[in-house]
Amino acid sequence: MLELLAPRAVRALGIDASHDMLSIARVRLAEAGLDHVQVRHGDIYDIQVPAGSFDLVVIHQVLHYLDDPGRAIREAARTLRAGGRLLVVDFAPHGIEALRESHAHRRLGFSHEEMAGWFAAAGLDTETVRDLSVDGAAAQPLTVTLWLARDRRMLMAGLDAADDGRA
């Protein structure tokens, strides 16, 4: 995600609880020459940055590992500036129970309603939801969904033409 999005960012920060994953990310970011991107060890429930730090937060394929996804969404929302956006990428509801055992999944996907509820509780409005499917393919065992939400606060400026020196 950082490789994909960082060329559009002034600064970007990736957080993961796994040192192994961070090592892989550091190598890939260095190879891509993305010097303005950092990765840092951390917990998605307690991101060590001030409130309002980011224009965009992406939670990519992490939520299904968590006991409390709503708490992670609230913490992500805390780090957004007013009007900032949160993109969650994860699985639509599925029935592949084996993933609990083989890949430590705690949740077998998320419904649109469940995600919208967590967004609303975190002060976010759902903007777009997209289920990714392969055209012409038979029923997919795993569908990836993109949920995009926006912080509902606004940054407003009230300028009086007489006061701004341009009257």
Ligand X SMILES: C[S@@+](CC[C@H](N)C(=O)[O-])C[C@H]1O[C@@H](n2cnc3c(N)ncnc32)[C@H](O)[C@@H]1O
Residue with nearest beta carbon to ligand X: 18
- For the chain, where are the E strands, in sequence order? 12-16, 37-41, 54-60, 80-91, 124-132, 144-151
Residue 61 interacts with ligand X (CB under 6 A)? yes
Burial 116-150 (b: 16+ CB within 10 A, else e): bebbeebbbebeeeeeeeeeeeeeeeeebbebbbb
Confirm or reject binding of residue 1 to ligand X (CB under 6 A).
yes
Note whether 60 and 2 are within 8 A (CB).
no
For ligand X, give the closer residue by CB, 107 or 153: 107
Name the residue nearer to ligand X (CB basis): 19 or 166.
19
Q: Which is nearer to ligand X, 61 or 111 (CB)?
A: 61
**Cα dihedral sign, 117-148-151-70:** positive
Joined together, the tokens standing for residue 121 give 């509780």
Residue 60 interacts with ligand X (CB under 6 A)?
yes
Instruction: Among 6, 13, 37, 44, indicate the residue that binds ligand X (CB under 6 A).
Output: 44
Quick one: which of 32, 34, 62, 108 contacts ligand X (CB under 6 A)?
A: 62
- With residues binned 3-state (H G I as helix, E B as strand, rest as coil), the percentages for the chain, rounded to 5, are 30, 30, 40
**Site for ligand X contains 6 (CB under 6 A):** no
Among the listed ranges 3-11, 54-62, 127-135, 159-167, the one in contact with ligand X (CB under 6 A) is 54-62
What part of residues 65-84 is at the interface with ligand X (CB under 6 A)? 65
**21 near ligand X, rule: CB under 6 A:** yes
Q: Please tell me whether residue 116 binds ligand X under the rule CB under 6 A.
A: no
Q: Which residues bind to ligand X, rule: CB under 6 A? A: 1, 16-18, 21, 43-45, 60-62, 65
